[in-house]
A and B are shown apart, each in its own frame.
Chain A
Amino acid sequence: MEYRQVRDPIGTALLRLHDAVVDEPLPREFLELIAEIDRRIGKKDTL
């Protein structure tokens, strides 16, 4: 993502923090939790 809010360094820093976490691949524990939910509701196309 391009950060254009150069006049608001704090806002930009917070957005970078946000994007750094959002862009991380979802850890295995979360995938297992989602798969468990999918199994319980009988959803076939799990992640």
Chain B
Amino acid sequence: MNSRSDNTEADELAIGMDTARRERDALGDEQFRDELVAIIPQLRVFSRGLCSGRAIADDMVQDALTRAWAARKSFERGSNFRAWIFMILRNQYYTTVRKLSRMADWDPEAAERLLVTPADQEWQLEVAAVAAALQKLPPEQREVLLLVGASGLPYEEAAQIVGCAVGTIKSRLARGRIALKAIIEGEDVPMAEQPTARTRSQATQGRSVT
């Protein structure tokens, strides 16, 4: 009886310590808010590169911000905030592609076309051409070009976000650059790494952040 009582007290103590540790490790709301606001432009670049159309891309960023805010207590101080929130946005993108592919008879290519809309007219011609060319790449190459080439993230951080090895990031970047150049120059590009529902599913497995 006593030992059961002791165990209960020990459990309560452990729970209390765990809660205190989490509170100590979590960012304060105001600090979290500042990090969130500062990263918005970078998230918009990534999202716009993934799906091109401004409205869809911005909707996705807003969803990611809302999810990140809701999950802020699970973010540990000292962790990589940028990688964490980029992962949330990336998951959001692939989840939407999967949802749309279910609506489109399990056709991931058709689902992606629903997300990828023509670049906005207000973009400069040159930027619009690059954005349009990016949409012709497999998402696996597109996201690496955006993370490393456009946003300047280190290979290691891109690998953390995408959930693959650094070597894979480097090879996707190299192939993506060659393909992008060829598309911009009007060449016919064989897509060596076409995305499939399976690869997308693998890419997003185990990445829940909440």
- Chain A interface (Cβ within 8 Å of chain B)? 9-11, 13-18, 20-22, 24, 26-27, 29-30, 33-34, 37-38, 40-41, 43, 47
Contact = CB atoms under 8 A, between A and B. Distances in A.
Interface stretch (B62-70, B81-89, B161-169): B62-70
Interface in B100-137: 123-124, 126-127, 130-131, 134
B157 interface: no
Contacts of A9: 181
B69 A18 contact: no
B62 A30 contact: yes
Interface of B: 29-30, 33, 36-37, 40-42, 44-45, 48-49, 58, 61-62, 65-66, 69, 123-124, 126-127, 130-131, 134, 145-146, 149-151, 177, 180-181, 184
Contacts of B149: 10-11, 14-15
Nearest to A21: B45
A16 B49 CA distance: 12
A-B interface, 5 closest residue pairs, ranked by CB to CB distance from nearest: A14-B149, A18-B150, A14-B150, A22-B41, A13-B130
Given A18-B150, A43-B30, A34 B37 contact: yes
B126 A38 contact: no
B150 A17 contact: yes
A34 B131 CA distance: 28
A38 B33 contact: yes
Given A10-B149, A16-B126, A20-B123, A41 B62 contact: no
